[in-house]
C-alpha cells in the first residue's frame, strides 16, 4: 500500500507548516485520509443526533413531567400545609425530614436521565455503527464507487518498489480519483466531497449523479468549505456526463442525502437551490434490506424510535442546466 498522508482528527494541525490552502483530487496517498474524513462525518452525526434527541420535546416533556410528579409525591405533606412559597422553602432550613425528602429526588433524576440516555444511545448508535464499518469494502464502494484499498496500492512509491509501470487498466482505474475533491490546509486534508454516477438510474434525457460524501473538519465548519465543494461538484458533474453519459445534452440531476436533524447541511443544500424529494426511515443505506435486522425488538429500538423522534434520511435534488448559473468554482 502507498505511504499514506497522516491525519489525526483529535489533534490540531501542525502550526510549523505554512498556512497554505490548496485543493487536489483523490490520490492513492490520500486514500486513508479520505476514508477518515468520510468516517468523521458519521461520528459527528452521532453527536448531533444525541443532542437532537435529548432536547427533543418528547424527551424534555418526559423529564419535566416525571420529575414534577415525583417531586410533588415526595413533598406533598409540606406542599399541603404551606400557605406561601416562603413558608414552603423555609422547611429546607428548619426540617431535616424535608431535606431528606429533597435529597431523595436526586436518585430519581439519575434514573430519568438514564432512561433518556439509553433511548438516545439506541437512536444514534446507527451512526457509530456506520463509522466503525466504513472500512468494509461494501461501504467503501458505495461512497467512492470503487475499491479504495486497491486504489491505494497504485502510488508512485509502490510502483517504484515493484519496479513496474501502470498497466492501461490501472491508468483508467486511477481516473476514479477525479470524482473526489479534497481541500488541503497546512498540507493536511480538511474537507472532502465525492461524486458517483448512478448509471442504472440515468436515461437518455437525464443523467443522475449522487454526492455520496460531503464533510468538513469540525474546526473549519464556519469557513463554508462545504459551499465551495458543492460549487466544484457542479463543474465536475458536467465532466462526468461527458465521460459516461450516452447523451451529452441530457440534463444533470445531482442528488445529496441529509439527515433531518443535520440543520447545517440542510441549510447549505437549500441555499444552493437543492429541493427535498424523498424521506426514508432507513438511516443506514449501506446495508441491504436482506441484511437488516427484523423483529419487534429491532423495530422498537430503531425504526419505531426514528419515527417517534422524526429522524429521517432525506434526499435532495438539484437540476443542472446552465453552467453560468452556478457561480464561482473552487
Q: What pLDDT digit, counting tens, does each position of 83-108 carry?
A: 676 766 676 677 777 777 778 888 88
- What confidence tier does 31 reach under pLDDT thresholds 50, 70, 90? very high
Give the pLDDT confidence score for residue 196 in this predicted structure: 96
293 vs 257, more confident: 257
Q: Which three cell numbers stand for residue 94?
A: 428548619
Q: Please state the rounded mean pLDDT for residues 230-242.
A: 95
199 DSSP 8-state letter? G
Give the pLDDT confidence score for residue 329 in this predicted structure: 40
Please state the φ and ψ torsions of residue 259, each to the nearest 5 degrees.
Answer: -85, 145
What is the DSSP pairing of strand 21-25 with strand 180-185? antiparallel
Give the pLDDT confidence score for residue 80 in this predicted structure: 72
Virtual torsion, Cα 127, 132, 135, 141, nearest 10 deg: -20
Give the pLDDT confidence score for residue 213 in this predicted structure: 95
What is the DSSP pairing of strand 251-259 with strand 275-280? unpaired
Give the pLDDT confidence score for residue 327 in this predicted structure: 44
Other Cβ atoms closer than 10 A to 114: 10
CB 166 within 8 A of CB 159: yes
Give the pLDDT confidence score for residue 16 in this predicted structure: 86
Model pLDDT for residues 145-184, shown as the tens digit of each residue: 999 989 988 866 666 566 567 777 878 888 899 999 999 9
Q: Please state the rounded mean pLDDT for residues 290-309.
A: 66
Q: Please state the rounded mean pLDDT for residues 45-67.
A: 95
Q: Please state the rounded mean pLDDT for residues 236-244.
A: 92
CB 176 within 8 A of CB 170: no
CATH of the domain spanning 21-326, picked from 3.10.20.440, 3.30.420.40, 3.40.630.30, 3.30.310.50: 3.40.630.30
Give the pLDDT confidence score for residue 7 in this predicted structure: 79
Rounded to an integer, what distance in angstroms lies between the CA atom of residue 238 and that of residue 40?
28
Q: Which three cell numbers stand for residue 190?
A: 480538511
Give the pLDDT confidence score for residue 156 in this predicted structure: 63
Give the pLDDT confidence score for residue 237 in this predicted structure: 95
Model pLDDT for residues 212-233, shown as the tens digit of each residue: 999 999 999 989 999 999 999 9
SS3 of residue 149 by DSSP: helix
Residue spans of the domains in the chain: they are 21-326
Q: Please state the rounded mean pLDDT for residues 196-217.
A: 94
Rounded to an integer, what distance in angstroms lies between the CA atom of residue 213 and that of residue 285?
13
Other Cβ atoms closer than 10 A to 160: 9
Over 60: is that where the pLDDT of 265 sits? yes
Rounded to an integer, what distance in angstroms lies between the CA atom of residue 228 and that of residue 65?
46
Give the pLDDT confidence score for residue 65 in this predicted structure: 94
Over 50: is that where the pLDDT of 325 sits? no
Amino acid at each position: 500500500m502507498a505511504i499514506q498522508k497522516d491525519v489525526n482528527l483529535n489533534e490540531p494541525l501542525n502550526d510549523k507548516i505554512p498556512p497554505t490552502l490548496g485543493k487536489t483530487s483523490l490520490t492513492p496517498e490520500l486514500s486513508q485520509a479520505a476514508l477518515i474524513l468520510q468516517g468523521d462525518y458519521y461520528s459527528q452525526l452521532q453527536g448531533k443526533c444525541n443532542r437532537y434527541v435529548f432536547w427533543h420535546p418528547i424527551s424534555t416533556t418526559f423529564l419535566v413531567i416525571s420529575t414534577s410528579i415525583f417531586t410533588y409525591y415526595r413533598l406533598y405533606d409540606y406542599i399541603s400545609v404551606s400557605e406561601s412559597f416562603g413558608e414552603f422553602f423555609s422547611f429546607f432550613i428548619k426540617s431535616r425530614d424535608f431535606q431528606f425528602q429533597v435529597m431523595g429526588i436526586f436518585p430519581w433524576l439519575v434514573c430519568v436521565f438514564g432512561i433518556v440516555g439509553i433511548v438516545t444511545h439506541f437512536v444514534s448508535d446507527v451512526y457509530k455503527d456506520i463509522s466503525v464499518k466504513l472500512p468494509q469494502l461494501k461501504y467503501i464502494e458505495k461512497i467512492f464507487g470503487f475499491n479504495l484499498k486497491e486504489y491505494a496500492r497504485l502510488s508512485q512509491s509502490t510502483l517504484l518498489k515493484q519496479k513496474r509501470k501502470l498497466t492501461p487498466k490501472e491508468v483508467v482505474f486511477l481516473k476514479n480519483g477525479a470524482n473526489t475533491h479534497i481541500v488541503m490546509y497546512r498540507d493536511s486534508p480538511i474537507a472532502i466531497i465525492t461524486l458517483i454516477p448512478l448509471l442504472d438510474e440515468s436515461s437518455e434525457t437525464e443523467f443522475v449523479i449522487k454526492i455520496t460524501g460531503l464533510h468538513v473538519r469540525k474546526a473549519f465548519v464556519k469557513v463554508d468549505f462545504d459551499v465551495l465543494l458543492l460549487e466544484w461538484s457542479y463543474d465536475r458533474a458536467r465532466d462526468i456526463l461527458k465521460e459516461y453519459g450516452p447523451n451529452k445534452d441530457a440534463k444533470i440531476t445531482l442528488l445529496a442525502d441529509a439527515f433531518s436533524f443535520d440543520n447545517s447541511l440542510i441549510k447549505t443544500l437549500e441555499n444552493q437551490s437543492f429541493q427535498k424529494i424523498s424521506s426514508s426511515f432507513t438511516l443506514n443505506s449501506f446495508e441491504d434490506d436482506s441484511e437488516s435486522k427484523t423483529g419487534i425488538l429491532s423495530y422498537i429500538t430503531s425504526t419505531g424510535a426514528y419515527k417517534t423522534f422524526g429522524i429521517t434520511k432525506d434526499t435532495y435534488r438539484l437540476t443542472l442546466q446552465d453552467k453560468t448559473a452556478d457561480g464561482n468554482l473552487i
